[in-house]
Amino acid sequence: MNNNSLQPFEFNGSEVRTILVDDEPWFVASDVAKILGYRMASDMTRRLDEEDKGTRSVRTPSGEQQMTVINEPGLYVAVLGSHVEGAKKFKRWVTADVLPAIRKSGSYSVAPQVPQSYAEALRELASSVEARELAEARARELEAPARSWSVLAEAHGDYSVDEAAKMLSRDDRITTGRQRLFGFMESLGWIYRHGSRNRWHAYQAQVDCGRLVQKMSAAFLNTRTGEMENPAPTIRVTAKGLEELHKRILEVQEANHAA
């Protein structure tokens, strides 16, 4: 059963709205992102598989609206990626109180119906535990590559383009290599080719904003011409640049998939 009427509930003064899709609760992404400390809902949903997020038409007091929503496994992945102190408390509250009530009645109630028998209580408990375990198992599976990427992205320093490509590819959603990454950075307007040897150079704006570093090597003697020459600069990607490339690559992939 689908129910596109929003069912709101409150966590520490913040509203989280849900809808039912095939009898399963989906959460309004912007509400969850706010509680879990994501800057934007898109920063949170970017981590999720396509099947764990979507856009739904929901009924609101001002009429039908399109909203981005996430399912239960998606919510757990979002919790795992959150850095706010209350993330685990939010997860415990959702799994212990809200989800069982929604699954039973189709809406959240602070006073859910009491099982009429011991056997009914056991069945409801088993169903709730099984659903939660399945969703959490899927969340762990989805989070593994994302967490691996997050650890790398939090590193400091700068990296060669080859190293950056390998680090980006630690996210299972991304496949890239040195030459492909050079081409992608060119398409973003980060780098350009210059000089008789057509070597890569970084635009100064990208150096100034901290995404790229351009390192110069010492001049060398060209034995063919007998003249001293300055080698092409070496372009390196900073941790800030890696994070931005990661975001941009996924955005392009999502746009291509939607098309």
Residue boundaries of the structural domains of the chain: 3-153, 158-258
Cα 51 from Cα 24, distance rounded (Å): 13
User: Which bin fits 115, alpha (ψ -120 to 50), beta or left (φ > 0)?
Assistant: beta
pLDDT band for 103, please (50, 70, 90 cuts): low
Structure confidence at residue 10 (pLDDT)? 87
List pLDDT tens digits, range 178-225.
999 999 999 999 999 987 778 899 999 999 999 999 887 666 667 777
Helix residue ranges, H only, the chain: 29-36, 41-45, 72-80, 87-93, 99-105, 118-153, 161-168, 178-188, 204-208, 239-258
Cα 254 from Cα 137, distance rounded (Å): 25
Q: For the residues 76-80, what does the mean pLDDT come to?
A: 82
- Assigned token pair, 211: 């995404």
Written as one letter, the residue type at 96 is A
Bigger pLDDT: 240 vs 111:
240
Structure confidence at residue 107 (pLDDT)? 46
Q: Which of 229, 233, 225 is nearest to 201 (CA)?
A: 233
Q: Cβ-count burial of 35 within 10 angstroms (0-12 exposed, 13-18 middle, 19+ buried)?
A: buried
